[in-house]
Amino acid sequence: MATALLNSDRLRGRFIVLDGPEGCGKSTQARLLGQSIQQLGLMVEMVRDPGTTPIGEKIRAILLDPAHREMGMRCEMLLYMAARAQMMVQTILPALSAGQIVICDRFVSSTLAYQLGHDGMTAGHIRDIADVAIHGRWPDLTIILDLPIEKSMARVRREKDRIEQRPLSYHEQVRRNYLSQAATDPDRYRIVDADRPVEQVHADIWQLIAGLAA
């Protein structure tokens, strides 16, 4: 990989999100991207949403526990935002201020895919609340790893969490919501076909990162 061709200084302090449906390979691609950036001699902060901080991990456990079937969609959305608020102040903002590159596994783009349209929630409602939670610091680039739902759910080999247990029709709408976000905001979103070998997906992601460093 031609890392020498990148202007690595232009990557410092960048906030990059990898997102997409269940089983699309976000965690694997985040790890590979972090390794490639570190080869440039840059510092990388790897985070996951929800989670990362002790408070965020406790909120994550509540959100994904299948026992919490009674959870309302607005409660679900606000819990995700609370975890993000803590992660921003405790981890992401300090890392960005120090010139590190932050790579986040999921972010507000997930809420705009998974909670949008439920209990009357609009994209405007979600973005307004998110703007408060994340201190107005939106990602520089959100990469959506797109994968047909039948294939994405087939990749979830472990016991499914509370969100993954929802019907196929729900997850199909989630995928459509991701693609709609990218179509609406092409300056900050990119779509990568995740239905290919890991190495090919990583190569395409790296080309997008090169665009940030141009």
Cβ atoms 191, 144 nearer than 8 A: yes
Q: What is the predicted pLDDT for the residue at 2?
A: 44
Does residue 53 sit within a domain?
yes
Does residue 5 sit within a domain?
no
Instruction: Compute the half-sphere exposure of residue 208: CA atoms within 13 Å on the CB side of its CA.
Output: 26
Does residue 147 sit within a domain?
yes
Q: How far apart are the first and last CA of the chain?
A: 16
Does residue 2 sit within a domain?
no
How far, rounded to the nearest angstrom, does the alpha carbon of residue 187 sit from its chain's CA centroid? 17
Does residue 4 sit within a domain?
no
Does residue 157 sit within a domain?
yes
Q: What is the predicted pLDDT for the residue at 214?
A: 76
Does residue 130 sit within a domain?
yes
Each of the 214 residues of the chain gets a pLDDT tens digit; together they read: 444 456 788 899 999 999 999 999 999 999 999 999 999 999 999 999 999 999 999 999 999 999 999 999 999 999 999 999 999 999 999 999 999 999 999 999 999 999 999 999 999 999 999 999 999 999 999 999 999 998 988 888 788 999 999 999 999 999 999 999 999 999 999 999 999 999 999 999 999 999 888 7
Q: What is the predicted pLDDT for the residue at 5?
A: 54
Which structural domain range is residue 117 located in?
Answer: 12-212
Q: What is the predicted pLDDT for the residue at 97?
A: 98
Say whether 102 sits in a helix, a strand or coil: strand
Give the pair of three-digit tokens for residue 144: 């959506």
Report the predicted TM-score, pTM, of the whole model to 2 decimal places.
0.94
> Which of 29, 19, 171 lies closest to 107, judged by CA?
19
> Which of 15, 203, 210, 205 lies closest to 109, judged by CA?
15
CATH of the domain at 83: 3.40.50.300
Q: Report how many domains make up the chain.
A: 1
> Which of 85, 145, 135 lies closest to 110, judged by CA?
145
DSSP E strands: which ranges in the chain? 15-19, 44-48, 101-105, 141-146, 189-193
